[in-house]
Structure formats: C-alpha cells, structure tokens
Structure 1
Amino acid sequence: MVAAAVADELTESDDLDWKEKLPSFARKPGIWNEFAKDVAAMANTRGGLLVYGVSDQIKLVGVDLAAVDRKQMLSAVRNGIQPYISGIDVIELPAPGDGGEDVLVVDVPPSEMAPHFQYGWEDKDKDRVTFNAPYRINDDTFYMPEHQVARAYRERFAHQDAADALLQACLTQTTETVLSESEGLPAWLVIAARLARPVPRMVPAPTRLEAKDTLHKAVRTAGRIKDDFAGPAVLSDVLSNDMRVGLRRWVDSNFLVPDRRGRGRDVMVELHHDGTVTVSAELAHGLPPHDGIPVNTQVLQIVVLEAVALADAFRQHLAADSSLNITATVATVDAGNRLLPFGNGYGQFALIADTRRPPRLLPASTELAPNADDETLRECAHELASGLLHQFGINVHR
C-alpha cells in the first residue's frame, strides 16, 4: 500500500504525513518533542498514519528498521502528551524479498479524549516551554486557539456522558433481568463492561464457539492470576452449558431456562456483539439465613476478577483497541433489608464482625486500559472489589 501510494504520488493530508527520517529523541529544543507533536496532532484531528521512509518529494527512500527505538517512541507519547493516547501501533514494514526499502508506519487512532496537549521545549518559541493542542489541516500542523479547545472539551464531555448513559442502561437492564428471575431475597453482583469505542456494527458477530472459547479463556486467566483473590472459580458453573442467542449477544446462564435450572449458584454471562460484557452472580447462595441479605464477599471478589478477565479476553478476540469502562453494583429485590457481609474463616462462612450493614451499595467504577497485562487486570479487579467492600467498612489488602 505504501509503495502504491508513493507510485501514485499521493500527497499529504490531515491523516497522512510522509517522513523521510526516523524521529529523533535528542534532547534539543525544537527536536526531541516533534514526534509527540505529530502524534497529538493526528489524534486531535481524526487519526492517521505517520510513514517514515518517504521524502517530501514523495520518493521511497527507506529507513533502517534496526535503528527504530519503539520504547523511546512510546515513552515520548506517554511523557510528552496529556491526556495519554492509547492504541498507537508502531508497524515495521521490511522490504519485500525482491528488494526495496524498509518503511516504518505509526498508526494513530482517532481519540475520543481530545484535546490532547503536547508539551516540551520549542526553539521557535524562544526556548520556552510550550503546552499546546496541535491539530492538522490538510498537510499542515497548527495549534488550537482557545475557542477550538473549548469546543473539543465540550465534544469530549458529551461523548463521555453518552457512553456513561449507555453503560448505565446496560447495567440497569441486566439488573432487571436477574432480579425478575430471582427466588427468595438474594443479593446479586452485576458487572457491566463497555468499550470506549464500541465495535462497529459491520464487524462480523462472534460465533457461538468463539464466544464460548472466550469464556473458557477468561476463567483460565482468572485462575492463573488470582493471587490474593482466594476461592474457587464461579463462572465455571456455566462452562458446560451451550450459549444461547440473544438480541445481538450470546447469553450463558444456569437459571434463565427453567428446565436447565440447577441447585448451584445462579450465574449469567452476556457477550454483546458491540464488545459489551455483563456478568451477574447471586451472592447469598449457601449462606445461612439471617436478619438481612447475606453477601458472600469472597465470591464477590472472585467474580469481579473473572468479569475483568472476560471483558479483556472478549476485547482481544474482537481486536478492539480501546479502553474498557467497567461498573459493578450489588442489587437486591427488597431494598428494605440490610446487606450482611460474610467471609470465609476457618473453613466456614460467617458474618464478618465490626462491619457496616448498609441497605444498598453505591456502584463502583474503573477503566481498563488497552493491552493490559496480568498485573493491570489484578489492579483493575482490586479497585472494583474494594469500591464495593469498603462500603461495608472492610479493608481489602493487596
């Protein structure tokens, strides 16, 4: 594609920037922050490609891929741009076997967190520190004036409000579903995870087998990384079921179909075609009756970890390069009863002493960044679980 574009003498535009040489990171005014400025400008406009190895005259001159410092490039983005731009891809393109020039491409996604500010030293600004929001018009880069920055912030906040509303609607719908099917007075842990940039509708929906494989992968991941999240897997209760089709989603549960309802803990998983994931688990199963609604705090922590692992595994399957917004809540049929935290001590579950007994819990929310490693998954799950358990007055240690 690069060779064809060069052959056609494709000119630069707001989403294409030809670069003859690899970016320099020598700490000199006007030089070391140039790469950060180019990336921020692309993200603030509509995303695009920085192509290294093509001259201003649109000639394929190539670059030395051995000299590419990927770590330094990503460091410049992380340390020289606020807020952080996620999803940047650095792609090395070796010349074909029949010869030619090597090329480096930096793919910058459009950002819904614009405006992004690039800061550093600028020689043309008399060696003063700059803090500006660059953007592109055709093949030129400019800095946003105040009114344009204000408009970008309004668009960002409007998008965030819309995303929060969609996440809350998903959480509410799932809560209504599980509570309507409840028997007795249970407490439900309900978790919803939604991509900041949902998968477009034209992307093929996952098959039943792919959805099931994703669930298996998530349970294995949670089991491998659980560390201080003590307790057996919970989502494994539905692994033997066949996922059933829903409205643009796959649904796995052990209680929605009466003929398939067992005596174990009620669990439901939904994998939406747009990348949204919901996980629900009943928290009072197996606990002794009490003057209130028992909540198994150990199960709560395990399910939170499994839900975070599932949301990340589903994101990877869909190749969605986007952060995940995750919210968890505890819902009950009767808000008049108080929630009673139970823990596992000396081999049996018992009411945890010296804790608060709230009638309800506020939702806990967090964000899971793209390309999350095991520690990031644990930290995300710990933040969610802590947000709920702290409302009982329980301090969750790491």
Structure 2
Amino acid sequence: MARSWTRLHEHLGHPPGSLTYDMVTAAVADKLSESDDLDWKEKLPGFTPKPGIWNEFAKDVAAMANTRGGLLVFGVSDRIELVGVDLASADKKQMFSAVRKGIQLYISGVDLIELPAPGGGGPDILVVDIPPSEMAPHFQYGWEQKGKDRVTFNAPYRINDDTFYMTEHQIARAYQDRFARRAAADALLKERLAQATEVVLSESPDFHAWLVIVTQLTRPVPRLVPAPIQAEAAAVLRQAIRTAVRVRGATDRSAILSGRLADDLRVGLRRWAGSNFLTSDRRNLSTGKRGILVELHHDGAIVVCVDLSTRLAAGDDIAVDTGGLSTVTQEAVVLADAHRLHRAPGTAVEITAALATGSTDRRIVPFAYDFGNPEPVEGTRHPRSLLASSTELAPNADDEILRECAHEISDGLLHQFGIDFRQ
C-alpha cells in the first residue's frame, strides 16, 4: 500500500494522503530536483527475457529502500518535463518479479501507482512508491556480461541523485543499525506495556485484573508527518468501534470501547487519550463498571486498557470475564488497524497483550456468561499470572485477517487457563 507522506507531499505542503496526478504535475512545474528519495524517469523500465540478468530497475528499488525510501516517477524527462508513458505497456508483473527475484532480502510494501491524465487527454504517469526498509541492507544480485559473464551482488544506496554501492564497513554498519532498530523497538513496546500497566494498577485494588494491549508500527511514521488533530483521532476511534462490531457480527450494544471516549479525547504526551477514570469526576471502580483507557499515539501506536474483573470469585481469587477479554481484543486489533491506516497505511503492526493484576499472591479464575449469568469456567487452571501474548497484523488486513489476529491474541491468553473456545 502506498505511503501517505512523500517528497511531493513535503514540497507542495500537502497533508498526508494519496499521491495524485496533480501533485506530480505541480512538482514538475516547480522543477523539483531529484534527490535521494525522488528519481524522475523518462521511459518505463526495460526487462531482458533472460532470467537472472542484472536489472537497473531492481537496483533503483534496492537503493531507495536502503536509504530512506522514495519515488521512481516514470514519464518525466531528465530536464524535468512531463513526457508521459503508455500505461497499457507497463509490465507491472515483470516489475514486481524483478523486485522479488532480484533483491535479497525481499522488500515489502513496494507499490505501483498508475496516474492517468484526467480526461484521458494528456500524458500518463506511473509512480513506484518504495518504503524505507527496517530490514536494510538489501542486496541486488544477478549477472551481467562485460567481456565475459560475471556475477554481481551489491547493496546500492543513494546520495542526493546518485547511486553508490556499500563498502564492507558500510554493510557491517547497516546490519548493526538493523539489529539496533529491532532492539529499540522491542524495548519501546515493553516500556509502553509497563507504563500502561502501572497507570491502571495504581487506580484499582489488588483484586482487579486489567487487559493491557499495546501496539507499534514496524515501520515508523516519517517525522515530518503532522500529528493528528483531536477530530481525526476521535473519528478513527469511532470508526474502529463500528468496524469491530461488524467484524464480530454483533450489535452496537455489545461494544466495550464506548464512543463516548471519542467525545472526550484529551491531549497527552504525543498522543490523544480518553478514559472514564482518570478525570476529576472519576467514578468508583468498585461499582462493577469497567475502567477503560484508550491512547492513540502520534507515531501510530495504540494503548487499550480495560478492567476485566468481576466480584464473583471466592476468597482471595481474582475473577476475569473471558468474554470481555475476547471482545476487547477484537476491538483493540481493529483500532490498531484503523490508526495504522490513518498514520502509515503500508506498514505492519506488532501487538502485545497482557493480563495485569496488582498481586501475584491471588489466583486468576476465568468466568464466562451463560445466558447472562456469570459462571466459572469448569476444568480450567487458575494461575497467579499469565505470559504476554503477541502477534503481528499485516498491511491490507480484511475482516477475516482482523478476526484471526484477534483470536491469536486472545487464544494466547485463554490457553494459559486451559481454555480453547474454538474447539
């Protein structure tokens, strides 16, 4: 899926959104110079029928992915004049094949955008949108004939409008950067999980249990993308609640995340946050109503915390509503997808869920509702703590993928009780 923020958006002062024909023609009229993330191309890429041969198109894709992503715009001459291309002759299948077969590791998220002239009376444009890769370095390989056949295997990258090849120490540094990014991402996810857990547990007694779900994008939102305003964050939350109801095949009254949260989203530290217990008119959590905290971070992450406790367990046990766990997980996954589509549609989302309690001395007892009556689930384990459950939501998720992702998260928690509701 195409990125919503590119060199053209930045140059023209456009907000995040789809790339349009008018945006390209405006940039051409401004004589926008080539850079490390913009390359004007007069002709469509050519492909030899011989498999494995060195290909300039694959080199250009790998170079931009190894740098910071960018656009290959076909139909614009070196003098930055709009000359157009024949979209009917663009071999998109072969272009994707060159990316798949000529580059290692595979670069995900490359998108081909056809921009026909409005009304069909002008030159058409083809744009290849290449996201920055968190898995760099990527190597382009094949063979070429110069005097004799030779195999080539290089990691290209861009400086301004030129392409170079990484030296050994640059490749080593690129691998170090990849591992450092992965470690930093893991640390940030754990930090957000710990912070959210601390906030909700500090507001409730020891016999309460909270489902805490945090997410983060696998590819960061570009720094220059404007932060969402309150109305945008509220619209994302409302849409996610409606979508989650549809995905579950339920009714609006079954939703746990309330649309009222969207009406009272408040600014936080690089985020919008809504809760029904962190305000001056906070209610008493012991009344049995659920505590809820929702955060939509500017970097595309979300935090969802819901009190799943009931007062039904005997003695010092903690009773947990398993149906509520499944419902909240579904709504959180859909919210993660909706927020991702608004901030950075072409990236995957990492999701982690944990069941947090204020005391490890109490056992957690799973409850389910049978015809409206809560009953402990028979034959289950009653652990004192649960391991976190994690998964990844791929881009372009449809309803079935959203359901399966939510099931994977909730099953990871419920299986630790010995429960499998899908058997």
Shift, 1:97, TM fit: 6.4
**Per the alignment, do residues 141 and 238 of structure 1 end up closer, same or farther by CA in structure 2, a change over 3 Å counting?**
same
2: distance between equivalents of 1:9 and 1:246?
A: 40
Structure 1 residue corresponding to 2:398, chosen from 373, 376, 379 = 373
Tell me if the contact between 2:369 and 2:375 (Cα under 8 Å) persists in the aligned partners: yes
**Which has the larger displacement, 357-366 or 235-244?**
235-244
**Per the alignment, do residues 84 and 348 of structure 1 end up closer, same or farther by CA in structure 2, a change over 3 Å counting?**
farther
Which structure 2 residues correspond to residues 236-385 of structure 1 after superposition, within 5 A? 236=258, 238-239=260-261, 242-257=264-279, 259-261=281-283, 263=287, 264-285=289-310, 287-289=312-314, 291-319=316-344, 321-345=346-370, 348-385=373-410
What one-letter code is carried by the residue in structure 1 that aligns with 2:320? V
| Structure 2 counterpart of 1:167 | 189
Structure 1 residue corresponding to 2:143, chosen from 99, 116, 122 = 122
**Which has the larger displacement, 267-276 or 217-226?**
267-276
**Per the alignment, do residues 278 and 72 of structure 1 end up closer, same or farther by CA in structure 2, a change over 3 Å counting?**
farther
Alignment RMSD (CA, Å): 3.6
1: distance between equivalents of 2:315 and 2:326?
A: 22
2: distance between equivalents of 1:188 and 1:76?
A: 48
2: distance between equivalents of 1:123 and 1:84?
A: 21
Shift, 1:143, TM fit: 4.9
Tell me if the contact between 1:321 and 1:370 (Cα under 8 Å) persists in the aligned partners: yes
Shift, 1:295, TM fit: 2.2
2: distance between equivalents of 1:212 and 1:286?
A: 32
1: distance between equivalents of 2:226 and 2:117?
A: 32
| Percent identical | 64
Q: Is 1:179 the counterpart of 2:204 in the alignment?
A: no
Shift, 1:45, TM fit: 2.0
Tell me if the contact between 2:241 and 2:331 (Cα under 8 Å) persists in the aligned partners: yes
TM-score (norm 1): 0.83
What one-letter code is carried by the residue in structure 1 that aligns with 2:241? V
**Per the alignment, do residues 244 and 128 of structure 1 end up closer, same or farther by CA in structure 2, a change over 3 Å counting?**
same
Number of residue pairs matched? 395
TM-score (norm 2): 0.79
**Which has the larger displacement, 299-308 or 20-29?**
20-29
Tell me if the contact between 2:221 and 2:344 (Cα under 8 Å) persists in the aligned partners: no
| Structure 2 counterpart of 1:225 | 247
**Per the alignment, do residues 35 and 338 of structure 1 end up closer, same or farther by CA in structure 2, a change over 3 Å counting?**
farther
1: distance between equivalents of 2:261 and 2:378?
A: 35
What one-letter code is carried by the residue in structure 2 that aligns with 1:356? R
Report SS of the residue matched to 1:236: coil
What one-letter code is carried by the residue in structure 2 that aligns with 1:336? D
Tell me if the contact between 2:85 and 2:126 (Cα under 8 Å) persists in the aligned partners: yes
**Per the alignment, do residues 388 and 70 of structure 1 end up closer, same or farther by CA in structure 2, a change over 3 Å counting?**
farther
1: distance between equivalents of 2:308 and 2:196?
A: 16
Q: Is 1:106 the counterpart of 2:125 in the alignment?
A: no
The one-character-per-residue Cα deviations of 1:208-247 (angstroms, maximum 9, x if unpaired) are 333222211111111111269xx93211374485223333
Shift, 1:135, TM fit: 3.0
Q: Is 1:211 the counterpart of 2:233 in the alignment?
A: yes
| Structure 2 counterpart of 1:15 | 37
**Which has the larger displacement, 293-302 or 195-204?**
195-204
Report SS of the residue matched to 1:235: coil
Gaps of 5+ in 1: none
Shift, 1:205, TM fit: 3.6
